[in-house]
A and B are shown apart, each in its own frame.
Chain A
Amino acid sequence: MYRDKRIRIIVGHYGSGKTEFSVNYALKIAQQGKKVALVDLDIVNLYFRSREKEKVLEKSNVKVISSSIKASAVDIPAISAEAYAPLQDEKYDTILDIGGDPVGARVLGRYNDILKEGSYDMFYVLNANRPETNTLDKAIGYLNAIEGASRKKVTGIINNTHMLKSTTVDDVLKGQKLAKELSQKLEIPIKYIVALESVAVKLPDNLEGEIFPINLYMREDWML
């Protein structure tokens, strides 16, 4: 499971579910006994960032790196120099949780000297229930723009099509159809199909990509 490159970069349209995937992914590979770092490079969003879950993550031995200024209300793009450590230290399995859209992906330019082609996976998180990425053309548009801004190549597609806690199998399959069109058009494989655990068990087993059941760490009890 999860035999991806040591460095995984998680990108996508704003609100596609990058952070929820990143947190779940980090916890899963930490459970395999690996030394894991989750680097929150989100300089776009100010709410619902992975750094908010630092306590949960650290308890599961995931090292969390984000801003060098430790305060929830900081809206300046200050990234800790510590972010270089798990990129260069090969003992780490590293996940980079990137802010949404091309504007969020621009932050990767800073690490261009380290992130050489072949040394990383860059996963494009796709949610077909988001109006800005619900057609093939729009999904390609965001993917191309993110590649342009980051100077990195997407190596895998993640179908993260959901409707929060009321996600159905049909939501996931609708997203899978779009992910497949995108995959065929750009010749990029579908790596994961993300779904709530209760939905994941009901998915057909002939889908392209690995089914990736998640818990919703970023949604409070009172949220939909």
Chain B
Amino acid sequence: MAKVLMKGNEAIGAAAIEAGCKYFFGYPITPQSELPEYMAREMPKINGVFLQAESEIAAINMVYGAAGAGARVMTSSSSPGISLKQEGISYIAGAELPCLIVNIMRGGPGLGSIQPSQTDYFQATRGGGNGDYRLVVLAPANVQELVDLIIEGFDIADQYRNPVMILGDGMIGQMMEPVEFKKPKKRELPEKDWATTGTKGKRKPNIINSLYLAAEELEEHNKRLQEKYKAIKENEVKVESYNIEDADIVVAAYGTTSRIAKTAISQLEKEGYKVGLIRPISLWPFPYEEFNKISDKCKGVLTIEMNTGQMVDDVKIAVNGRFPVYFYGRTGGMVPTPNEIAEKVKESMEVKSNGCSI
């Protein structure tokens, strides 16, 4: 298929349908409302279901039901709406159901703003809901990658029976870029023999549930979940890095911010600076090991986010005291410029070693 121009939110819908998603439950919220609008138009054409729920809480529980019946299903929202979905997400993780949850982030806290932000990193990677659960969190930096991660995300969800979250900011949702739809690398996906599809009198009923009446059983369940998360950590880390073996300073950024950082880095290279980049694509599992490849001569790692410092905690864990870790962030829906980032890189290089890292 030839390249077409699509807005991020439209591309999410098209990619989901390409991946065989036939059920979408959601509730509109800026800046992702083009997605439910797209699904409302396109789902009937493939005999799928688009349903605008009465609330985000209803939508995520409809996802719970459809996923329990073995369907490929998706919901989407933006920051405050994702907060509302947290209870359902925890239930889905507990019941081990595959589904895709899209968060096109906006400024917070509370209702915040409608402009792009990355303030839900903690919520996405640490779990906004209760319990020891993990979401696979994938953070695209452009519309093509968004399409690829949506398509692969459904497979990851099915492979591990785990919810997958696509974490983009408003800019990724609203921006128009060329995209093409490619098949992902083939995965061996298990049969959904746990789904509630009717026994036809031939087997015991399957039960979808996250409640355990015996403490021993729940502990066993948690141990099994942790085994699964360990396998995900081993197999599903995605990261892009650039020039980290030779850099005097390394920038860590994801999503839109990483693209602006790339433009800043090419400006700085023209001025003779050696700047590397680590761009986590999977935020959970986080690419901790990639940071071990940074050369010893590096003077520090500068994390850039559209928040007041969230991923920087993971960067500090990854760097493990080898270098000072610096942070620069914009909030409220403000997007940093390449010049701003270039200045911060220069400032960080001037800080004396073992100086005032945050």
Contacts and interface: CB of A to CB of B under 8 A. Distances in A.
A48 B259 contact: no
Interface stretch (B4-12, B59-67, B300-308): B4-12
A15 B6 CA distance: 8
A75 B114 contact: yes
Interface in A159-175: 162-164, 166
Most buried by A among B30, B107, B175: B175
Given A48-B174, A75-B30, A131-B6, A222 B260 contact: yes
Nearest to A48: B174
26 contacts: A14-B7, A14-B34, A15-B6, A15-B10, A46-B30, A47-B31, A47-B170, A47-B175, A72-B113, A72-B115, A75-B114, A127-B5, A129-B3, A129-B178, A130-B6, A131-B4, A131-B6, A163-B178, A164-B178, A221-B263, A221-B338, A222-B260, A222-B263, A222-B338, A223-B175, A224-B177
Nearest to B175: A223
Nearest to B170: A47
Interface of A, secondary structure class, is loop
Contact of A73 (B10, B115, B142): B115
A114 B158 CA distance: 58
A134 interface: yes
B176 interface: yes
B171 interface: yes
B174 A224 contact: no
Contacts of B170: 47
Contact of B3 (A48, A75, A163, A223): A163
A163 B176 CA distance: 10
B72 interface: no
Nearest to A45: B174
B262 interface: yes
Nearest to A134: B4
A166 B176 CA distance: 13
B5 A47 contact: no
Ranked nearest first, the 7 interchain pairs of A and B with the lowest CB-CB distance are A47-B174, A222-B263, A73-B113, A129-B5, A222-B260, A131-B4, A73-B114
A164 B113 contact: no
A73 B117 CA distance: 13
B11 to A, nearest CB: 10
B333 interface: yes
A47 B338 CA distance: 19
Contacts of A166: 178
A15 B3 contact: no
Contacts of B174: 45-48
Contacts of A220: 260, 337
A180 to B, nearest CB: 20
Nearest to B2: A129
B348 to A, nearest CB: 20
Contact of A224 (B34, B107, B178, B338): B178
Most buried by B among A45, A48, A166, A224: A224
Contacts of A221: 263, 338
Contacts of B338: 221-222
Contacts of B262: 222
Nearest to B259: A222
A73 B107 contact: yes
- Residue among B5, B6, B7, B115 with most chain A CB within 10 A: B5
Contacts of A73: 107, 113-115, 333
B259 A15 contact: no
A130 B5 contact: yes
A43 to B, nearest CB: 12
A56 to B, nearest CB: 15
Interface in B21-41: 30-31, 34
A15 B179 CA distance: 14
A221 B114 CA distance: 22
A223 B260 CA distance: 8
Given A222-B259, A223-B175, 12 more contacts: A47-B170, A47-B174, A73-B115, A129-B178, A130-B5, A164-B5, A166-B178, A220-B260, A221-B338, A222-B262, A224-B142, A224-B178
Nearest to A73: B113
Contacts of B114: 46, 73, 75
Contacts of B333: 72-73
Interface in B307-335: 333
A72 B107 CA distance: 12
A98 to B, nearest CB: 17
A165 to B, nearest CB: 10
Interface string A177-190: 00000000000000
A193 to B, nearest CB: 17
A48 B125 CA distance: 30
Contacts of A14: 7, 34
Contacts of A72: 113, 115, 333
Interface string B245-277: 000000000000001101100000000000000
